[in-house]
Amino acid sequence: MTAPQAHSTSSIEQCRLITLPRHHHDNGNLTVVENEQEVPFAIRRLYYLYDVPSGEERGGHSHINCCEFIVAASGSFDVEIFDGRDRRTVTLNRPNIGLLVTSGIWRVLNNFSSGSVCLVMASMPFDENDYVRDFDSFLSLTSAKR
């Protein structure tokens, strides 16, 4: 298997928090996300996770090419990111702040609060071939390029 180029250059330093504009009104707040404006890619897929049982994890994979922008639309959860060398945990708990996760980054989502909703905007439609779901394979891909 040829190691994907995305794993060669991705690092958790490229992952960053992005504060989305919040429009405050007396009758509630509004946050808007437009393609290639607030996030640095065109949104090709949007999905959300909810009703995650206490103690459960989601994610546990990396993407070869896909980038994602992850937001706690409601409640809170942690996103653990790992690039094969460095590791960081980011707590998301505000609906106008999201985490950009670049391709080639292993991610695990955990510590979901009751009633939390995880909103994910992705740069690509679903493609099973874009996933690296085995951690040892991920480590092989990242170490081959370091």
Q: Report, in angstroms and rounded to the nearest whole number, the Rg of the chain calculated over CA atoms.
A: 15
| Rounded average pLDDT over 33-46 | 92
Flag whether pLDDT at 93 surpasses 80: yes
pLDDT in tens, 51-80: 999 999 999 999 999 999 999 999 999 999
| Rounded average pLDDT over 3-19 | 76
Using CA atoms, how far residue 125 sits from 42, 68, 92, 122, in Å, is 11, 11, 24, 7
What is the domain partition of the chain in residue ranges?
5-143
Flag whether pLDDT at 96 surpasses 60: yes
* Whole-number Å distance between alpha carbons of 129 and 117: 26
| pTM for the structure as a whole | 0.91
Q: What is the CATH number of domain 5-143?
A: 2.60.120.10
| Tokens at 48, concatenated | 């959300």
User: Which of residues 6 and 126 earns the better pLDDT score?
Assistant: 126
Q: What pLDDT does 63 receive?
A: 96
Flag whether pLDDT at 29 surpasses 80: yes
